[in-house]
Amino acid sequence: MEELLCWIHHGEDGGHYPLAQILSHHLYDNHAFFLFWLPLFTLYKTVGKRNKIAQEILATEQTYVNSLKVVVQLFLEPLRDPANKQIITTEDLRSIFSEIEVILGYNGKLLGEIEQRMEAWSFDSCLGDIFSKMVSV
């Protein structure tokens, strides 16, 4: 028989707590909880998938930010040099590179938030709140 774990989903704060913790700390008083019985195997499988997805998001964002840095450092900055005004006009430079430095700054901040979250990653961590917060910035 598969070993079962009982987790409680707290409707108010969205947290997941082991049943024993809830009962021992009286977290169940005046709150709406929903019981979820999960087979241990399913829990491990879900946690493993979530970890892989989070690692992939981190790796993708690192690659994207590094690529933007390369474009800015190897192309944009040298072309801004007054000695290169004969190569390209300021208007063309703006047209080609648009807001790349703003995008780099925004994604650099997003990457920092993701890296910080990943350092303390656990089975119940998530990244969605980081993206939601960045949308409102």
Could you read off the pLDDT of 98-134 as tens digits, one per residue? 999 999 999 999 999 999 999 998 878 889 999 999 8
Give the domain range for residue 89. 4-135
Q: What does the alpha-carbon distance between residue 17 and residue 7 come to, in Å, rounded to a whole number?
A: 6
pLDDT band for position 12 (50/70/90)?
low
Q: What confidence tens digit (pLDDT) does each residue in 56-80 have?
A: 999 999 999 999 999 999 999 999 9
CATH of the domain at 73: 1.20.900.10
Kindly state the tokens that stand for 87.
């190569």
pTM of the model: 0.66
- The pLDDT value recorded for residue 135 is 86
Mean pLDDT along residues 46-60: 89
pLDDT band for position 14 (50/70/90)?
low
Q: In terms of C-beta density within 10 A (0-12 exposed, 13-18 middle, 19 or more buried), how is residue 103 classed?
A: middle
Q: How far from the centroid of its chain's Cα atoms is residue 124's Cα? A: 14
Beta-carbon contacts of residue 43 (< 8 Å; ≥ 6 apart):
5
Residue 83 Ramachandran class (φ > 0 left, ψ -120 to 50 alpha, else beta): alpha
State the total domains in the chain.
Answer: 1
Q: What confidence tens digit (pLDDT) does each residue in 23-43 have?
A: 445 444 444 444 455 565 666
Q: What does the alpha-carbon distance between residue 4 and residue 6 come to, in Å, rounded to a whole number?
A: 7
